[in-house]
Amino acid sequence: MAPPQTNPANEDLADVVRLIERMRNGERRAISHAVTELERLSAAAPALLQAMQPHLGHALVVGFTGSPGAGKSTLVNAYTRYVRSQSKTVGIIAVDPSSPVSGGAILGDRIRMTATLDDDGVFMRSLASRGHLGGLSPAAVRVIDALDAAGKDIVLIETVGTGQSEIDVAEVADVRVLVTAPGLGDDIQAMKAGLIEIADILVVNKADREGADRSVRDLQMMQGLAAEHGDWVAPILKTVGAKGEGIAELAEAADRHLAWLRESGELQARRRAHLRLRVETILKERVVREADQVLGLDREVERGFASRTDPYRVADRLFEGVVRREAEERRT
Amino acid sequence: MAPPQTNPANEDLADVVRLIERMRNGERRAISHAVTELERLSAAAPALLQAMQPHLGHALVVGFTGSPGAGKSTLVNAYTRYVRSQSKTVGIIAVDPSSPVSGGAILGDRIRMTATLDDDGVFMRSLASRGHLGGLSPAAVRVIDALDAAGKDIVLIETVGTGQSEIDVAEVADVRVLVTAPGLGDDIQAMKAGLIEIADILVVNKADREGADRSVRDLQMMQGLAAEHGDWVAPILKTVGAKGEGIAELAEAADRHLAWLRESGELQARRRAHLRLRVETILKERVVREADQVLGLDREVERGFASRTDPYRVADRLFEGVVRREAEERRT
């Protein structure tokens, strides 16, 4: 990662606008800089987010979820090569689960995307999902915006398949691809029935392996049991990511789904729901942060613990403290 | 479920105290009533939560997590029979994932606990984890409190194994049991490494099946890779839930862990951390609810969407609205 060239806390609006121009020219260092600022929610981030607004909404966001072992990384790599061959630019966000205790990445030094690292039309960032165990953090969502504002035609998100991350990806992706592979076991059928409901495209990867047709039949059966959403029926595709087989069909299905989203009004509905989710998350983070600043969360929890106060009363006291300080600030 | 006999919204403190007395006498209808009030967070819930406070902290809370197919329900059933044979009372909370789209339970009409349904020393409640996909909702946490206040010696929580639910159970359980079984596949190794770090006891259930020793070795190996927490090393036990084998050893390990928790001060630390998590959750839910009441979340999101305002500014406006109303209420 290139070191930041400027201190964005001191940048005025003109500097932010210049940064966005450089991002949109495809300058890797500018994108990397902006992504880092947004990931960390630095002092420069609010101005950057505001200035990025007019440039958002261009990218097609495709989310890849599914069990470990389904070959998602290889599939994302093959998908990237395919859309690059059509001269589209790509941003990739790989979300790795991190250990809740040690904080270290569980998957370790997974080698990724070697085929695309020297291509300026591809920008990739790996994020740890601290505390989210594979889920999408608010930081990841801001990074999607940065890649969108940078003018990438397609943003691919790859997460490790825990139940929660699939739900999170469903909130932000325009196209939700659920990836499985032959022989991953039927024990997770119960889980999948719920996940199938939120998938737009179902993929059996490693389809050159024995059992691929059975996996397709299993998916068809589970799809029959699941509730439909709208009049889109998720196609079931076979791919071999490692050989690039079935990728053109996958990209074509994604384009068809985007067209359906636009025509049905579902695209607007999804993006509106996503804005609502983000606003709620920001509100929640803010009230906890202010409560901590005003009264100290640890101190109040300690008091409540010692006096056996129920959590609702402890929360009441903290909320009161936040309101009082905010009201005082307005008076002065 | 018995219908509520009184309308608790009109109950005064004396009524709540009487309800808690009846719960502590083991009256099933009283416990059922209180659990329902707390699950729904009805108007009576705050008074009930407050009156329950002096009775909390007695129950040993044991959480069972692990992949579907590991036999957790059978194991919980066998564990219940064993501790009942020692005259301890038991509360059981089974968290079923519900479909995020249809709202229906994924697992359907799973038959549970037939052996214990006619025993007054056992109280069981099945909860759907709407939107949490197997995770513990704040409602589930309040139900744990109700069973604790009712004087149950042991509260067992069983969740479907998604990554998120394991983390949630880790937050509330005194003893965290991670259950696996031979032949569940190694594809989830990466996941398990993280989960092993937060488990207090590791169980290979269905240990009369082929491959049980290999499962034990796999767990030992993964345990070696995982970060230690404190000086407790999770024992690896073999059980056959369906035959009641290994259950006495499991209960004994749980007791040993509880003794360690007490001696090391970890019990207090965990319960303090849990209180903090609950306070944060309550604060977050409150700010969103009030923002919705004051300005209308949908309306403000709609305005922000139409004017392409970034989510931080929409959240700012909502937060301002909440503070303003609260401050006005204090002045009048």
List pLDDT tens digits, range A19-38: 999 999 999 999 999 999 99
Alpha carbon A91 to its chain centroid, in Å, reads: 12
- Residues B258, B264, B268, B272, CA torsion sign: negative
Contact A6, A47 (CB under 8 A): no
Q: Which two tokens stand for residue A68?
A: 């470990």
Per-residue model confidence as pLDDT tens digits over A262-274: 999 998 888 888 8
Residues of chain A with Cβ-Cβ distance to B311 below 8 Å are 275, 278-279, 282
pLDDT band at B66 (very low <50, low <70, confident <90, very high): confident
Highest mean pLDDT among A55-69, A136-150, A242-256: A242-256
pLDDT at A229: 60
The token pair that represents A137 in the structure block: 């953090």
Task: Check: CB of residue A247 under 8 Å from CB of residue A239.
Answer: yes
Q: How far apart are CA A31 and CA A37, in angstroms?
A: 10
A85 to chain B nearest CA, in Å? 33
Which residues of B fall within a CB distance of 8 Å from A276? 297-298, 301
Task: Reply yes or no on whether the pLDDT at B197 is more than 80.
Answer: no
| Other Cβ atoms within 10 Å of A93 Cβ, number | 24
- Do the Cβ atoms of A194 and B52 come within 8 Å? no
The torsion defined by the Cα of B245, B124, B173 and B38, in degrees rounded to 10, comes to 180
Highest mean pLDDT among A323-327, B94-98, B153-157, B227-231: B153-157
| Percent of chain B at pLDDT exceeding 90 | 45
Mean pLDDT to the nearest integer, B104-127: 61
Cβ distance of A276 and B286 shorter than 8 Å: no
Decide: A300 and A288 in contact? Cβ < 8 Å: no
- Quote the CA–CA distance of B234 and B119 in Å, as a whole number: 32
Closest residue to A97, CB basis, from B135, B194, B323: B194
pLDDT higher than threshold 80 for residue A169: no
**Which residues from B are below 8 Å from A20, CB to CB?**
none
Provide the H-helix boundaries in chain B: 13-24, 28-40, 45-52, 72-85, 138-149, 163-172, 189-197, 212-225, 247-264, 266-294, 297-306, 311-331
Burial class from Cβ neighbours inside 10 Å (0-12, 13-18, 19+) for residue A332 reads exposed
Chain B residues with CB-CB distance to A321 below 8 A = none
Tokens in use for B187?
């594809």
- Residue B292: the pLDDT is 94
Model-level ipTM above the cut of 0.85: no
Nearest to B147 by CA among B121, B109, B115, B183: B121
Checking if the pLDDT of B139 tops 60, the result is yes
Which ranges in chain A belong to alpha helices (H)? 13-24, 28-40, 45-52, 72-85, 138-149, 163-172, 189-197, 212-225, 247-264, 266-294, 297-306, 311-331
Q: With contacts defined as CB-CB under 8 Å, which chain B residues touch A56? A: 308
Read off the DSSP letter of residue A241. Answer: G
- Out of B53, B133, B323, the one facing A163 most closely (by C-beta) is B133
CA distance B45 to B34: 8
Flag if B187 and A67 touch (Cβ within 8 Å): yes
- Residue range B241-271, pLDDT digits in tens: 999 999 999 999 999 999 999 999 998 888 8
Q: Which residues of B touch A302 (CB under 8 A)?
A: 272
pLDDT of B131 reads 45
> Pick from A31, A4, A60, A22: which is nearest to A122 by CA?
A31
What's the gap in Å between the CA of A156 and the closest CA on chain B?
22
Inter-chain touch A50–B313, beta carbons under 8 Å:
yes
Q: For residue A132, what is the nearest residue in chain B, using CA coordinates?
A: B164
Report CB contact under 8 Å: A279, B286: no
Give the per-residue pLDDT at B94: 85
CA distance to partner chain A, nearest, from residue B86 (Å): 30
Q: How many CB atoms lie within 10 A of CB B323?
A: 22
Distance (Å, rounded) from C-alpha A190 to C-alpha A131?
25
